[in-house]
Structure 1
Amino acid sequence: MRVPLRGVWRPVLVVIVPIALLTIVGMVLLWPSGAGTAADETQYVDATVRTVVHAPCEASDEAALAAGRTDCGAVVLRVTSGPDAGQDVTTDVPAGPGAPEVSEGDDVVLLYLPDTPVGEPYQIADHQRGDQLWVLAAAFVLAVVAFGRWRGLSALAGLAVTFAVLLLFVVPAILDGQPPLLVAIVGSAAIMLAVLYLTHGVGTSTSVAVIGTLTSLALTGALSWLAVRALHLTGVADEQAGYLGVTHDVNLQGLLLAGILIGSLGVLDDVTVTQVATVDELARADPGYGFAPLYRAATRVGRAHIASVVNTIILAYAGASLPLLILITDSGQSLGRVLTNQLVAQELVRSAVGTLGLISAVPITTALAALTARRRHPTERPEKPEAPPATTPNTDHLAALAREDHDSAW
């Protein structure tokens, strides 16, 4: 028995089409004009280290000693780009926390300061690592395609869309002065629609995952707004955020909310797609499952998934903020003071709100998937086979067999 999908597609399209249209309109209205992006006047050039001469600082090197330098040696470099390409320049050996360690033959990036009144206009800023990153990216692409094949290619296309939306729309729009939270909502919707349909194809299952993701994302946004307001978080939690607030007209509290939404999106679509796939496979394996058995069985899978993902979220935030946690813990403050510090409280809000959004995604998506799966894979009762026609025993043949047995006995 086949059930037409018209009854399934109609409610799905009623939700998906308006969301897509609103997303397109939002991107058009919020699209950055470029007026808010400040031009970076810092100049960087490429160079290759020719020689490195190390020398201890002497008492006459007052400026170097005052700056905390212990190595007053020099580095000779061959400039390979910029106005002085092909020439040799000399600069100080990099010093200080995080300073790059250079040796002969290293490819480095130089900060060019032509208006420096004293000393060389070039300073070593970083190593060049473009070639290494290209090799790593090639290995990543080959591994994804070799394992995922066409599905891997579609996943890479979705990844390209994600980078494009973030770099061409979300970041420039925020720098352009648009509300960060609204930009994040529109950008997240665009990423979700494009990536899920590109990766998993156009179908009812994908549409159910989209609806479940959108619903959970809306709940996450509401919870994050309430948490940020209740805890009086300003969004100015580190030097980078403070510098951004000074140099650009950006709502840092809204930027914090935008970061929570975008960070939650990547885990939400993983959970929703998994739940939809689980329900679909259960419905195919046993067409006799009704809504309630499907929901209960898939929810058990969702609980196990959430239990592992929650730990992943906490470890991801802790790993990213590990230097910050060490500094705050080493400050000698009490545990309560450390946990209520705005820097730590901000990460706790990210983790807690993201986890609540994930937990809500399981029942919402599972219920929607079970509802549509029953209409896409209806219960098919096998027809009873017809009973074979009744036959009348051949009594003459049975009587003859009985006589033969009687004669052989004698």
Structure 2
Amino acid sequence: MGADHTRPAPSTPPGVRRILVATVVPLFVLTVIVALVLWPRDTPTKDTGGDVPRYHGTVTRVVTEPCPPTPEAPEGSPGTADGPCGTVTVKVEQGPDAGQQVQTPVPAGPGAPTVAVGDEVVLVELTDPADPTASSYNIAEHQRGEPLIWLVALFAAAIVAFGRLRGLAALAGLAASFAILLTFVVPGISGGGSPLLIAITGSALIMFVVLYLTHGITAQTSVAVLGTLGSLVLTGVLGSLATAAAHLTGFGSEEATTLSMYQRDVDLHGLLLAGIIIGSLGVLDDVTVTQAATVTELAHANPGLSRMQLYRAATRVGRAHIASTVNTIVLAYAGASLPLLLLLTADSRPVGQILTSEFLAQEIVRSAVATLGLIAAVPLTTGLAALVTTAGRAPEADPVRDPDPTPKPRPAVDRDAALEALSAGRPGTPSTPAPARWPDPGRSTDTAW
């Protein structure tokens, strides 16, 4: 996560480093303590009694045939069942029937997979409730393990080939992020913990690990950490206020409703807030690291810039970054919620009622809150970076202390003396006197090829 800025940052004064250490280390220790207190210990056990056995197999034959007429079709409906119809022969690779050929019906219905000879599929074994000894197989879906493994391998190879050690560190940070999400955030929320508190703690833990692992332990990274942490807290506060003002319950999606049926003690309103915070973390990471690096690079390129000049110049960069990132956030949420957006054309209700309904209102709140937190991250991180970068300067070296900061005109130089100096040869070589004037004042001084 985050932008890559490989130029080593200038040395930070010892006093500034001590202040950053005194600020960041207690925050990290507090995050670890809160994480240990909230760490899930009694996670609910899964009830596997109703799980249907699933086995891998390979399709060896597909036979399609016309679907038989429906015996009791309503008036005006087609007289045959929805296709396709036929049988599929599959060689079972796992389970008690491994190595045998079994027949299954051709998958049909909405979302059913389309199979062909040679496809690797997943079979489910269904038992007849009336006769437990009788069972049959159905095709559930395709096996996706091998293509996903190749895609992940290509993803990792491209990152390491381009980023080298920094890319390897980014992959390690990504692995740490998933480890924290799967071992702390998800089990903690499933165990009935506060989703908002767990999300903020987990996001802060991810932020500390990923930023320092990817960008190194520097003052610039510490500024990005402080800016990200402050923006995360602000995002959580804004999210709480916005969801309370909009009276959102968290039941705005089918997944949330299904989850409430399996785990009744999950706080879906808090889960909505947790999703907003975790979803904002990746974008905040990019913005804060970029702003801290921008201030550092500007100060490195022009050490004479004052604190306010650094802030204003870096803020202009941040405005351009925000202008594109806001569109990225909205499009990301729109892409994830595209089926919901299609309801704008399929639903017969007025557009105002659709937009203010639970499922679309929570997407609007999610996008708006994430954007507000992102906008706040720019001035916060830029101000901290300007303070840290200009700290320790000598008073005479900081132009902000100069009562007359206007540029001083250069002293006038005699033209003949300048021409004589430019035309003088190197030491040890005979020199030729320079002409008092150019031979032809109207001629171009560009060297001919």
TM class, shorter-length: 0.7 to 0.9
Q: 1:353: which partner in 2?
A: 369
Return the offset for 1:67: 11
In the alignment, is the contact (CA less than 8 A) between 1:329 and 1:338 conserved in 2?
Answer: no
Amino acid at match of 2:305: Y
- In structure 2, relative to structure 1, the CA distance for the partners of 1:377 and 1:264 (3 Å cut) is farther
Q: Following the alignment from structure 1 to structure 2, what is the Cα–Cα distance between the partners of residues 127 and 360?
A: 45
Q: Determine whether 1:70 maps to 2:93.
A: no
- In structure 2, relative to structure 1, the CA distance for the partners of 1:355 and 1:246 (3 Å cut) is same
Q: 1:175: which partner in 2?
A: 190
In the alignment, is the contact (CA less than 8 A) between 2:35 and 2:201 conserved in 1?
Answer: yes
Q: 1:84: which partner in 2?
A: 97
Deviations 1:164-186 (A, max 9, x none): 11111111111111111111111
Counterpart of 2:281 (choices 245, 262, 265) is 265
Q: Following the alignment from structure 2 to structure 1, what is the Cα–Cα distance between the partners of residues 11 and 101?
A: 77
Q: Following the alignment from structure 2 to structure 1, what is the Cα–Cα distance between the partners of residues 199 and 318?
A: 27
- In structure 2, relative to structure 1, the CA distance for the partners of 1:75 and 1:16 (3 Å cut) is same
Q: 1:330-349 maps to which residues of 2 (within 5 A)?
A: 330-349=346-365
Tell me the TM-score normalised to structure 2 length: 0.80
Return the offset for 1:80: 0.8
Q: Following the alignment from structure 1 to structure 2, what is the Cα–Cα distance between the partners of residues 73 and 61?
A: 18
Q: State the SS of the aligned residue for 1:38.
A: coil
Q: Following the alignment from structure 1 to structure 2, what is the Cα–Cα distance between the partners of residues 238 and 231?
A: 16
- In structure 2, relative to structure 1, the CA distance for the partners of 1:13 and 1:62 (3 Å cut) is farther
In the alignment, is the contact (CA less than 8 A) between 1:53 and 1:73 conserved in 2?
Answer: yes
- In structure 2, relative to structure 1, the CA distance for the partners of 1:37 and 1:67 (3 Å cut) is farther
**301-310 vs 36-45, greater mean Cα deviation:** 36-45
- In structure 2, relative to structure 1, the CA distance for the partners of 1:300 and 1:51 (3 Å cut) is same
Q: 1:366: which partner in 2?
A: 382
Counterpart of 1:46 (choices 29, 50, 56) is 56
- In structure 2, relative to structure 1, the CA distance for the partners of 1:293 and 1:66 (3 Å cut) is farther
- In structure 2, relative to structure 1, the CA distance for the partners of 1:364 and 1:4 (3 Å cut) is closer
- In structure 2, relative to structure 1, the CA distance for the partners of 1:209 and 1:4 (3 Å cut) is closer
In the alignment, is the contact (CA less than 8 A) between 2:288 and 2:377 conserved in 1?
Answer: yes
In the alignment, is the contact (CA less than 8 A) between 2:65 and 2:86 conserved in 1?
Answer: yes
- In structure 2, relative to structure 1, the CA distance for the partners of 1:79 and 1:376 (3 Å cut) is farther
Q: State the SS of the aligned residue for 2:391.
A: helix
Q: 1:157: which partner in 2?
A: 172
Return the offset for 1:376: 6.6
- In structure 2, relative to structure 1, the CA distance for the partners of 1:303 and 1:37 (3 Å cut) is farther
- Which runs of 5 or more residues in structure 1 are unaligned? 382-410
- In structure 2, relative to structure 1, the CA distance for the partners of 1:66 and 1:287 (3 Å cut) is farther
In the alignment, is the contact (CA less than 8 A) between 1:16 and 1:211 conserved in 2?
Answer: yes
Amino acid at match of 2:224: A
In the alignment, is the contact (CA less than 8 A) between 2:58 and 2:120 conserved in 1?
Answer: yes
Q: Following the alignment from structure 1 to structure 2, what is the Cα–Cα distance between the partners of residues 33 and 89?
A: 44
In the alignment, is the contact (CA less than 8 A) between 2:70 and 2:79 conserved in 1?
Answer: no
- Which runs of 5 or more residues in structure 2 are unaligned? 1-9, 398-449
Return the offset for 1:130: 1.1
Amino acid at match of 2:151: L
In the alignment, is the contact (CA less than 8 A) between 1:26 and 1:186 conserved in 2?
Answer: yes
Q: Following the alignment from structure 1 to structure 2, what is the Cα–Cα distance between the partners of residues 331 and 365?
A: 44
In the alignment, is the contact (CA less than 8 A) between 1:36 and 1:177 conserved in 2?
Answer: no
Q: 1:391: which partner in 2?
A: none
Q: State the SS of the aligned residue for 1:48.
A: strand
In the alignment, is the contact (CA less than 8 A) between 1:3 and 1:376 conserved in 2?
Answer: no
Return the offset for 1:83: 2.7
Amino acid at match of 2:227: G
Q: Following the alignment from structure 1 to structure 2, what is the Cα–Cα distance between the partners of residues 91 and 116?
A: 18
Counterpart of 1:131 (choices 135, 146, 162) is 146
Return the offset for 1:62: 6.8
In the alignment, is the contact (CA less than 8 A) between 1:37 and 1:176 conserved in 2?
Answer: no
Return the offset for 1:66: 10
Tell me the TM-score normalised to structure 1 length: 0.87
Measured on the aligned residues, the alpha-carbon RMSD in Å equals 2.3
In the alignment, is the contact (CA less than 8 A) between 2:20 and 2:222 conserved in 1?
Answer: yes
Q: State the SS of the aligned residue for 2:127.
A: coil
Counterpart of 1:21 (choices 26, 29, 38) is 29
Amino acid at match of 1:53: V
In the alignment, is the contact (CA less than 8 A) between 1:279 and 1:298 conserved in 2?
Answer: yes
Deviations 1:125-182 (A, max 9, x none): 1111111111111111111111111111110100000111111111111111111111
Return the offset for 1:11: 2.2
Q: 1:2-401 maps to which residues of 2 (within 5 A)?
A: 5-40=13-48, 41-59=51-69, 69-115=82-128, 117=130, 120-248=135-263, 249-375=265-391
Return the offset for 1:327: 2.4
Q: State the SS of the aligned residue for 1:103.
A: coil
In the alignment, is the contact (CA less than 8 A) between 1:212 and 1:361 conserved in 2?
Answer: yes
Return the offset for 1:33: 2.5
In the alignment, is the contact (CA less than 8 A) between 1:289 and 1:379 conserved in 2?
Answer: no
- In structure 2, relative to structure 1, the CA distance for the partners of 1:202 and 1:351 (3 Å cut) is same
Deviations 1:316-340 (A, max 9, x none): 1111111121124311222211211
Amino acid at match of 2:66: P
**69-78 vs 296-305, greater mean Cα deviation:** 69-78
Return the offset for 1:99: 0.8
Q: 1:394: which partner in 2?
A: none
More helix by share: 1
Q: State the SS of the aligned residue for 2:109.
A: coil
**231-240 vs 190-199, greater mean Cα deviation:** 231-240
